[in-house]
Amino acid sequence: MTNSFFHPSLLLICGGLLLPFIKEPFRKPYLLLVPILTFVDVVYLGFNQGIYGEVAFLDWQLTFGRIDGLSNVFAFIMALMAILATLYSLQVEDFWQQMAAWFYVAGSIGAIYAGDYLSLFLFWEIMAFASTFLVWCNRDEKEATAAGFRYLLVHTFGGLLLLSGFVLRYQATGSIAFELLDYETHTAYNWLIMSGLMLNAAVVPLHSWLPDAYSKATIGGAVFMCAFTTKTAVYTLARACAGFDILIVLGVAMAIYGIVYAIIENDIRRLLGWEIISQVGYMVAGVGIGTALAINGAAAHAFAHILYKGLLFMGAGAVIQMTGKSRFTELGGLYKKMPVTMLFIIIGGVSVSAFPFFSGFVSKSIIIAASYEEHLLWAGFLLTMVSAGTFLVAGLRLPWLIFFCEPNSAEVVERAADPPWNMQAAMIVAGLLCFLLGALYPLLYSMLPYQDALYHPYSAYHLSETLQILAFTALGFIFFRNRLVARPIINLDLDWFYRRGGQAFQWLAKYPIQWLDTIWGKAYRVVGLLSLMTTARFSAWFDWHGIDGFLDGSARGVRSLGRLVARVLQRGQIQHTLAYTVTFVALVLIAFIWM
């Protein structure tokens, strides 16, 4: 690596490895110092863009530091979120959880800076395995272990898809460079790589792992997880698959599918998980459109989304930690007991709902404008309608069910309180950033990769359109809020088909395949072993009567010949014996000399 490049991921990995040896009173300052240094490193690299960390490995040239406009905006917000999430989790005593979180962030930033598929795959797997431990570390949730195994299984499969595509691409092109794929070729490696990336982006129907795992993670772990996996996948899709038309359809489907399930969800973090799928759908659609404006929109929305979704998961975690409950049917009436948490959940809700002067307003609208600019009227219309559903879910239903509806448990209300200072501090900073990005949007726009693709969010038309959508959505909620109450039911998702497929595979393995295995075993014992025993018996007979008979007969012949010679030579007269001996020796010497 060059002298001017120190990889931010290396800071996090080394910091995590040293963490078990750091004791109080130095532990909490150390926990904040490492992500702050990582953020400083990322900012420094952002001002010194270029290609760094080139390493020759076998016949390949690995690139660990490709710093440009696209990678910089993603790395910046992820390093910033690492600080906020670590601050939020400062009270956690389990150093394994903190180590897993830092390794997770290291994998994400490493994947963003990767300039080749091999280093991308390396950091991709670090990200998958480290985030799994954020689920397994939740010892208060009995289903966390199973959810973690499902999460790991799915992401291992996604990694295999990515690796298979990388290998096939290398065989076809001789290049491992992580660059834009050729959509027109329709090669197998294109689809394998895109499928592996889409799985991490939770693209429908490869999405069920997200609400399943995020709702079972630790309280701090969920804040990390909501920020990194899907947004890293959005970055890689923008890098490799920009302009792939199929992503427009899949992105719009994600936006609709996620918001529909969020409307009927009963668990706080599962609702936010469905909301992630919906909002990532906007980003995937932007990548599919592929224009400079659309890529700017995807990057800006990822930036804003990490902050407001992190804020919402912080608020949800505070509610769960202070009440011990995560289902809406067990909450309600908490506005007096948790006023700070209520305020910042509302700020997160209006941000994701694209309220004017909040971050979602200046990011989401770029993607919608890009769709209309490319005459994709259906996509722009549907994404606009989903915005109404987003406000209904995150801006209205979520805070209402937690704070303002009738309490479902007096005991829960009694023990509720705002969380510790560090959790409140993280929410305050995230909430302020959500407002600053919306009010001072040039700060965000100046970081986007394509500075020539200009967009002005605060036009009269956009403001009036947004306010009308928000007003009619609020009016509808007032009239129909009783139909939006939470119900303690299980909502079937596409993972139902996965489970049925798994059950069918188990039945196939248990009955038809096992029956065939039994028949094959019997046939082997009857046919194979019978022929083997027959061969063994023949071999034994041949050995006894053939080989042993020949050797024994030879021995008997030699013995008889010896007796005959003895009778001829040993006649009792020593002079004859000496004469025979001398004659034999003389003949041997003559033969030796002659030769």
Half-sphere exposure of 201 (CA within 13 A, CB side): 33
Q: Check if the beta carbon of residue 313 is closer than 8 Å to that of residue 223.
A: yes
Q: Say if 499 falls within a structural domain.
A: no
- Which DSSP helix (H) or strand (E) runs through 418? none
Closest CA to 247 of 300, 304, 189, 190: 190
Q: Say if 337 falls within a structural domain.
A: yes
What's the sign of the alpha-carbon dihedral 249, 466, 77, 83?
negative
Residue range 360-386, pLDDT digits in tens: 999 999 999 999 999 999 999 999 999
The Cα 348–Cα 226 span in angstroms is 14
The Cα 327–Cα 325 span in angstroms is 6
Q: Say if 497 falls within a structural domain.
A: no
Q: Say if 505 falls within a structural domain.
A: no
Is the same domain home to 208 and 252? no
The Cα 550–Cα 547 span in angstroms is 5
- Which DSSP helix (H) or strand (E) runs through 120? helix 117-136
The Cα 97–Cα 80 span in angstroms is 19
Q: Check if the beta carbon of residue 86 is closer than 8 Å to that of residue 79.
A: no
Is the same domain home to 285 and 189? no
Is the same domain home to 523 and 404? no
- Spatial CB neighbours of 481, under 8 Å, sequence gap ≥ 6: 396, 397, 400
Q: Say if 504 falls within a structural domain.
A: no
Is the same domain home to 255 and 396? yes
Is the same domain home to 120 and 199? yes
For 316-377, give the DSSP string. HHHHHHHHS--BGGG----TTT-HHHHHHHHHHHHHHTT-TTSHHHHHHHHHHHHHHHTT-H
Is the same domain home to 28 and 148? yes
What six digits make up the tokens of 65? 């530091």
What six digits make up the tokens of 178? 């992580």
Q: What is the mean pLDDT of the chain?
A: 88
The Cα 431–Cα 308 span in angstroms is 7
Q: Say if 496 falls within a structural domain.
A: no
The Cα 71–Cα 54 span in angstroms is 17
The Cα 385–Cα 134 span in angstroms is 35
Q: Check if the beta carbon of residue 35 is closer than 8 Å to that of residue 426.
A: no
Identify residue 542 by its one-letter amino acid code: F
Is the same domain home to 39 and 77? yes
Is the same domain home to 474 and 539? no
Beta bridge partners of 56: 61
Q: Say if 501 falls within a structural domain.
A: no
Is the same domain home to 86 and 23? yes
Q: Going residue by residue through the chain (595 aa), what tens digit of pLDDT does each one get?
A: 445 789 999 999 999 999 999 988 899 999 999 999 999 999 999 999 999 988 888 888 899 989 999 999 999 999 999 999 999 999 988 889 999 999 999 999 999 999 999 999 999 999 999 999 999 999 888 888 999 999 999 999 999 999 999 999 999 998 899 999 988 888 899 999 999 999 999 998 888 899 999 999 999 999 999 999 999 999 999 999 999 999 999 999 999 999 999 999 989 999 999 999 999 999 999 999 999 999 999 999 999 999 999 999 999 999 999 998 889 998 988 998 999 999 999 999 999 999 999 999 999 999 999 999 999 999 999 999 999 999 999 999 999 999 998 888 888 888 889 999 999 999 999 999 999 999 999 999 999 999 988 889 999 999 999 999 999 999 999 888 888 787 777 776 776 666 666 677 677 766 777 777 778 777 766 776 667 777 777 777 776 776 666 666 666 666 666 566 556 555 555 556 666 666 766 676 776 666 5
Domain boundary among 428, 454, 487: 487
Q: Check if the beta carbon of residue 107 is closer than 8 Å to that of residue 123.
A: yes
With b for 16 or more beta-carbon neighbours within 10 A and e for fewer, the 400-430 pattern comes to bbbbebeebbeebbeebebbeebbbebbebb
pLDDT attached to residue 132:
95
Is the same domain home to 464 and 579? no
- The domain in which residue 581 lies consists of 512-594
Q: Check if the beta carbon of residue 358 is closer than 8 Å to that of residue 435.
A: yes
Q: Check if the beta carbon of residue 257 is closer than 8 Å to that of residue 277.
A: yes
Number of domains the chain contains: 3
Q: Say if 192 falls within a structural domain.
A: yes
The Cα 550–Cα 556 span in angstroms is 10
Is the same domain home to 314 and 272? yes
Closest CA to 316 of 400, 398, 425, 211: 398
Is the same domain home to 133 and 229? yes
